[in-house]
Amino acid sequence: MSELYDLEAARSPEQRAYMAGLEARGVCIFCPEHVAAEQRLPIEHTGEHWYVKRNDYPYPGTVAHYLIVPLRHVVTFDELPDAAGAELWAIRRALKAELSPLAAATVERSGDMRLNGGSVAHLHTHFVALAPAPAETVRFRVSARGAPDSTACARPARPGTPR
């Protein structure tokens, strides 16, 4: 079983093979020591708990797409101290000041990557900046194993489960 990558999330056979190779070598591309070798765009800022870089594959419809990633290899947000939360807020504030977007959206991929829509088991936050008249709607996929259309995801509750 894969520990670092969700191979099912690969978007091409080439990407899947690449991810399987990383898994075999035990290399997490989000751990800061591997960014230079395994990612195209460099780390732009390193703080106490997080680093910030542009996403190598910005989502269509965004004018800027950053990843805010913990320096430590953690899987869930609550593995970090509250001070990391304060720093994350400050990073978001700085990105907003720098980019002056009309709007921004963040999605944090925490926990089981097969459900949070991520392909790497290292906590990370997407920060996307939005401008008027985007080329297309920006879509974040979560619940990766759900129905193809998220509007069709409402499943019947298990008996006794509050909705």
Task: Kindly state whether residue 27 participates in binding Zn ion, applying the rule CB under 5 A.
Answer: no
Stretch that binds Zn ion, among 23-31, 38-46, 82-90, 108-116 (CB under 5 A): 23-31
Task: Kindly state whether residue 30 participates in binding Zn ion, applying the rule CB under 5 A.
Answer: yes
Stretch that binds Zn ion, among 25-33, 58-66, 104-112, 126-134 (CB under 5 A): 25-33
Per-residue binding letters, 48-87, with Zn ion (x by CB under 5 A): -------------------------x--------------
Tokens of 75: 């899987």
Tokens of 43: 């780390």
Task: Kindly state whether residue 16 participates in binding Zn ion, applying the rule CB under 5 A.
Answer: no
Question: Given the complex with Zn ion, which of 30 and 50 has the nearer CB atom?
Answer: 30
Question: Given the complex with Zn ion, which of 31 and 131 has the nearer CB atom?
Answer: 31
DSSP 5: B
H/E/C letters for each residue in 110-160?
Answer: CCCHHHHCCCECCCEEEEEEECCCCCCCCCCCCCCCCCCCHHHCCCCCCCC
Amino acid found at 94? A
Question: Given the complex with Zn ion, which of 113 and 129 has the nearer CB atom?
Answer: 113
- Beta carbon of residue 62, minimum distance to Zn ion (angstroms, whole number): 24
- Beta carbon of residue 149, minimum distance to Zn ion (angstroms, whole number): 32
For 100, what's the count of Cα atoms within 13 Å in the CB-facing half-sphere? 0
Task: Kindly state whether residue 43 participates in binding Zn ion, applying the rule CB under 5 A.
Answer: no
Residues 91-150 that bind Zn ion (CB under 5 A): 122
End-to-end CA distance of the chain: 32
- Residues engaged in binding Zn ion (CB under 5 A): 28, 30-31, 73, 122
